[in-house]
Amino acid sequence: GDSVTQMEGPVTLSEEAFLTINCTYTATGYPSLFWYVQYPGEGLQLLLKATKADDKGSNKGFEATYRKETTSFHLEKGSVQVSDSAVYFCALTAGGYQKVTFGTGTKLQVIP
Amino acid sequence: SQTIHQWPATLVQPVGSPLSLECTVEGTSNPNLYWYRQAAGRGLQLLFYSVGIGQISSEVPQNLSASRPQDRQFILSSKKLLLSDSGFYLCAGADNNSPLHFGNGTRLTVT
């Protein structure tokens, strides 16, 4: 079945550091890929998405590129802020938006 | 775009008591609806999903049930809560034009 593997957290960075959160996937067909963010005590918000190979999703300074050859969708940001502290989930859906498979989430803590 | 409403935001219930969590959707028709559970420090577990009124698919055997009495209403229930039912419950919806949108969740503590 479909699966998503994320790097274990927590990740602790100083403000303005470079962020990478790794995500790899296994899926049949051609999945769409997503990053969701969950701030403390809240639901998940869609951060960015990519629907086909080589697409780059971007939002709020975050980027991720759909790499079919390495089955990866790593999340990056050039300079993190304290307000980016949250849990980040990589996810995929294959065959429309019927069911979404999530990774286990990576907690990011940014310290001033 | 669609908006997912969930309530209550927090709930403390004794073991053996019933449960009813409600989710409603605005801004779309005939969405796919989902209930997820997030246990402390863990990822998201899909509990139920529904592609239409009265159509419920269960992903894992458990003490909970779901119902969809109206197109934009999705209810999570239990007849008798267990301690292990504690967690953060998230309702989500998706349609053909958009990926999953989540509600703000319900924090359930079973004591």
Digit-coded pLDDT (tens) for A24-67? 999 988 899 999 999 988 889 999 999 999 999 999 999 999 99
pLDDT above 90 coverage of chain B, percent: 72
Nearest to B102 among A41, A44, A93 (CB): A44
Q: Note whether B45 and A101 are within 8 A (CB).
A: no
Mutate to test the interface with A, among B102, B106, B108 (most CBs of A within 10 A): B102
Tell me, yes or no, if A98 comes closer than 8 A to chain B by beta carbon.
Answer: yes
Digit-coded pLDDT (tens) for A67-96? 999 999 999 999 999 999 999 999 998 765
Q: Mean pLDDT for chain B?
A: 91
Mean pLDDT of B67-74: 96
CA-CA-CA-CA dihedral for B109, B101, B50, B26, to nearest 10: 100
| C-alpha to C-alpha distances, B50 to A12, A14, A95, B55, nearest whole angstrom | 38, 42, 16, 5
Tell me, yes or no, if B104 comes closer than 8 A to chain A by beta carbon.
Answer: yes
Q: Which residue has the tokens 């989500």?
A: B92
**Cβ B44–A102 below 8 Å, yes or no?**
yes
**Burial category of B25 from C-beta neighbours within 10 Å (exposed 0-12, middle 13-18, buried 19 and up):** buried
Query: In the structure, what pLDDT confidence band is assigned to residue B95 with cuts at 50, 70 and 90?
Result: confident
Digit-coded pLDDT (tens) for B12-40? 999 999 999 999 999 988 999 999 998 77
| pLDDT greater than 70 at residue B41 | no
The pLDDT of residue A101: 87
Residues 6+ apart with CB under 8 A from B97: none
Nearest to A49 among B42, B99, B103 (CB): B99
Mean pLDDT of B62-80: 95
